[in-house]
Structure 1
Amino acid sequence: MNQPRQTASYLSKRLTQAGLRPVSHFGQNFLIDLNLVDLIARSAEIRRTDVVLEVGTGVGSLTTRLADAAGAVLSIEIDTNLHGLAQDELRGRENVRLLLGDALKNKNSLRPEIMENVRDAYERLGEEARFLLVANLPYNIATPLISNLLHETPTPDVMVVTIQKELGDRMLAQPSTKDYGALSVWVQSLCDVSLVRILPPTVFWPRPKVHSAIIRLDLIPERRASFADLEYFHQMVRALFFHRRKFLRSVVISAMKGRLDKTQIDEVLSQLGHGENARTEELTVQQIQELVEALRQKEIAVGGAQA
């Protein structure tokens, strides 16, 4: 399907004609290089049996490409005026459903209607269906959206997203680097993470003050299935990195306050070979997984003994 040339002047004219302008608090930065819009869609390797979620419909430029490839597309836009423009752009595409509103119910959960629609489409497309997130994400919701989706059922098999480069750096970070933290461990514990492309501010309108990145996350089902309690793991990882510069022992004592005493915590750390000078930011993803599971098991054992 032929697409109009999406230059900054084209978008500006189109929005102006509709009496609109980008709204900064919604994180609206339109990707004006259509080659990069194509790259986002192409990098997701979409199949006809896929359910694709897009957050941030904008004027529908990426949505049309998703609709051409996927079995079903669910796209959500918070801006009422843009939602209206996208409806005009996507009229007649029966495999697209547009939602108006915020993708997040709150910081820790998605709007329920999103996953209800995803599950309906997932069941309709049959056994070969996959769930994908493909989006030029508004900067201000990227972290909670991705983190929350990793808790959902179904969990996205693939996510291809445009986000702040700084956020991409954190997802890709290795131990003992400045970007390594709770998000690095959480994402890498469940997914393979790869950098598709770094994007300069010039490919957006209006231009953001930072570089962006297209990141691809591939869910590894075996990793997700290996967790006895995924919610416990996620909460503990965030607690362990809350004071990332402190020694590991003091961080664990703080995180387990009222649940394990210092002697019990020292037993766990000793068994795992973590010395008194160890810090959370030095531990590999696997070491953090082993630590959290050991703490969980110790907590269960102590609780059972007290009962």
Structure 2
Amino acid sequence: DVVLEIGPGLGVLTRYLADHAGHVHTVELDRSLEPHLAELPPSVDLHWGDAVTLDLAALQPAPTKLVANLPYNVATPIVAESLAGLPSVDLWCVMVQRELADRFFASPSTKAYGAVSVLVQLAARRTGFHAVSRTVFRPQPNVESALVAFRRIPLPERFDRIKPVVVAAFSHRRKTLPNSLELAGLASRERGAQALASLGRPATSRAEELAPEEFVVLTEAL
């Protein structure tokens, strides 16, 4: 396996991964951690920079597993972009804020269900979930966390076209889906209503009512 680790910190997990994987790419933004990462095993490539902006798809050998302890503010873009942007990755194991972990595999018509729920569920199936109390961290954060694992399934065709439709649909949660699509410049209200009709859905439908698979059909109809 080739593991991509985001945020090695002091390198404790990095060294463990190096003992069990063929190769490890680890990405760290904080240069103050450099003394702790100075003597990593030879199978580890250390990359300094922001994981959100680095060209992770160019890493060689290409990563097959993604492991990360992600801050809330970057967890969504990193996970969402890796679904299609890192096609070689077939397994994710990430520690995130509990609220986000619940969103990844939330059901339609629930408060937690959103764009990231649809995108993750179209690309992966959850294989593990473990709640982690704030009391195990030092310093202790103000939020609960969760370790969540999910494995890739085949991406729908034209996933690159589905993603902007999903993002636009959830950009205005209180508006009907045709209105949200029109505000994003993706389709007129009339066209949006016609696309919903092909799903057997009324024009008054909102994004959170549609299952992930329905967004695939909706995009095709548009």
Match of 2:125 in 1: 192
Residue type at the aligned position of 2:121: Q
Q: CA RMSD in A?
A: 1.7
Match of 1:96 in 2: 44
- Structure 2 counterpart SS, 1:150: helix
**Rg comparison, structure with higher value:** 1
Structure 2: unaligned runs, 5 residues or longer: none
8 Å Cα contact 2:193-2:202 kept in structure 1 = no
Match of 1:235 in 2: 164
- Structure 1 counterpart SS, 2:38: helix
Distance 1:260 1:140 in 2: 30
Match of 1:62 in 2: 13
Normalising by structure 1, what TM-score?
0.68
Q: 2:30 aligns with which of 71, 75, 79?
A: 79
Pairing of 1:79-228 with structure 2 (within 5 A): 79-88=30-39, 90=40, 93-105=41-53, 111-112=54-55, 114-117=56-59, 120-122=60-62, 131-221=64-154, 224=155, 226-227=156-157
1:250 matches 2:183: no
Match of 2:215 in 1: 288
Deviation at 1:194, TM superposition (A): 4.2
C-alpha spacing 1:261/1:163, structure 2 compared with 1 (3 Å) = closer
Q: Which has the higher helix share?
A: 1
Q: 1:264 aligns with which of 191, 207, 212?
A: 191
Residue type at the aligned position of 1:97: D
Deviation at 1:195, TM superposition (A): 4.2
Match of 1:299 in 2: none
Distance 2:149 2:86 in 1: 19
C-alpha spacing 1:262/1:101, structure 2 compared with 1 (3 Å) = closer
Distance 1:230 1:275 in 2: 24
Match of 1:25 in 2: none
Distance 2:24 2:196 in 1: 47
8 Å Cα contact 2:27-2:49 kept in structure 1 = yes
Runs of 4+ in structure 1 off by over 6 angstroms are: none
Structure 1: unaligned runs, 5 residues or longer: 1-49, 106-110, 123-129, 296-307
Residue type at the aligned position of 2:131: I
Number of equivalenced pairs: 222
Identity over aligned pairs, percent? 39
8 Å Cα contact 2:178-2:188 kept in structure 1 = no
Deviation at 1:253, TM superposition (A): 3.0
8 Å Cα contact 1:172-1:194 kept in structure 2 = no
8 Å Cα contact 1:77-1:83 kept in structure 2 = no
Normalising by structure 2, what TM-score?
0.92
Distance 1:188 1:152 in 2: 16
- Structure 2 counterpart SS, 1:121: coil
